[in-house]
Amino acid sequence: MSQVLTDQQVEFYRNNGFCVAEGIIGDQLVERARNVIDGLLSSPDITDVAELEPGDEMMARRIWAPTSRDKVFVEIAEDEILLDAAAQLIGPDIVLQYSKLNVKPPKVGSVVEWHQDFAYYPHTNTDLLACLIYLDDATPENSCLKVAAGSHRQGILSHHVDEHFGGKITSLADVGVDESTVVDCPGPAGTVVFLHPLAAHASEKNTSDRYRRVFIPAFRSADALPIYYGPHAAHNEPTAKLVRGRQATTARCEEGVWQLPLAAAEFNSLYQIQEGSHLDAKKSSTGYFSHETKAD
Ligand SMILES: O=C(O)CCC(=O)C(=O)O
């Protein structure tokens, strides 16, 4: 296993809940991924593979489960350099929990509200890792990721609206996160933002005239097991795959009390629940969800 991240980057991750590393994914893979995305988004069956921007039937904001759509995304998610870096942060035994791809098209790309990934996917421990891989040069203008540095040390923050999971932190200040800690994470295409599951993060609407596509394979240590099996979380489990090291024979448990993401209605994406549009399309009166539910 090679040391991909410097000691300083690993220490930065431990202290701040994220680190940004340029040049992890090579230009050729990035270019192939962009071409595949163009093909997927020009398909007549676009709604089978993607969630569209509200009010714009030409623009997708999310491609579902990219690793099941084209092998280029498997190649990226299982790239040895990426996994070497992941192993430096979450240990040698690594499961790919799920993958998704946010498109953020020019002028319309939806906002992603403040949230922690762990609030959607609580596990027995916090050795989970989202790898946000920029497929375009990402800057504040086309809405690169923003992180509240150090927020991963504040535990799970409330994502509830009334008594239900709402998928977002309504205001950083209200949950005790210092807004002055917020930093942008820009980087050229091929950069990876390694993100701790308790790091609060967000991104703005894309008002620029450039795409900002990001492919997100989400990993966990093999001994981090889900403690919530509601629909949006359970949906990932059949395809969760050991990509490095050995299957766990024990679950490692951190102490704590973690709120479960019990939403008022099923939701197909983080965008839907954050906007509240999952309530309009309420499919179930019981709060239990169908098998068609997709990952957040
Ligand atoms: O696309 C982005 O800017 C953020 C993505 C994200 O946080 C998510 O999809 O969970």
Which pLDDT value is given to residue 295? Answer: 63
Which pLDDT value is given to residue 235? Answer: 85
For residue 104, which atom of ligand 1 is closest to its CA?
Answer: 1
Bridge partners of residue 186, in order along the sequence: none
Q: Which residue has the higher pLDDT, 296 or 98?
A: 98
110 CB within 6 A, ligand 1: no
Interval between CA 189 and ligand 1 midpoint (Å): 16
294 CB within 6 A, ligand 1: no
Distance, in Å, from the CA atom of 177 to the CA atom of 67, rounded to the nearest integer, reads: 34
Cβ-Cβ contacts under 8 Å for 26 (sequence gap 6 or more): 190
Lowest average pLDDT, out of 15-29, 184-198, 271-285, goes to 271-285
Pick from 21, 224, 34, 28: which is nearest to 122 by CA? 224
Q: Which residue has the higher pLDDT, 109 or 209?
A: 209
Distance, in Å, from the CA atom of 25 to the CA atom of 191, rounded to the nearest integer, reads: 7
**Model's pTM, two decimal places?**
0.94
Interval between CA 102 and ligand 1 midpoint (Å): 7
Q: Using 50, 70 and 90 to split pLDDT, how confident is the model at 202?
A: very high
Q: CB–CB of 275/172 below 8 Å?
A: no
Pick from 271, 263, 254: which is nearest to 230 by CA? 263
For residue 201, which atom of ligand 1 is closest to its CA?
Answer: 7
Question: Which residue from 168, 270, 296 has its CB within 8 A of the most atoms of ligand 1, so it is best to mutate?
Answer: 270
Q: Which residue has the higher pLDDT, 277 or 101?
A: 101
112 CB within 6 A, ligand 1: yes
Q: CB–CB of 110/205 below 8 Å?
A: yes
Q: CB–CB of 28/61 below 8 Å?
A: no
The percent of residues in the chain predicted with pLDDT above 90, rounded, is 77
Cα angle 208-212-182, degrees, rounded to a multiple of 5:
85
Question: Which residue from 201, 204, 211, 268 has its CB within 8 A of the most atoms of ligand 1, so it is best to mutate?
Answer: 201
Distance, in Å, from the CA atom of 205 to the CA atom of 126, rounded to the nearest integer, reads: 29
Length of the chain: 296
Q: CB–CB of 18/97 below 8 Å?
A: no
Which pLDDT value is given to residue 282? Answer: 55
The percent of residues in the chain predicted with pLDDT above 70, rounded, is 95
Mean residue pLDDT across the chain: 92
145 CB within 6 A, ligand 1: yes
Pick from 269, 130, 102, 97: which is nearest to 196 by CA? 130
Average pLDDT over residues 68-82: 97
Q: Using 50, 70 and 90 to split pLDDT, how confident is the model at 284?
A: very low
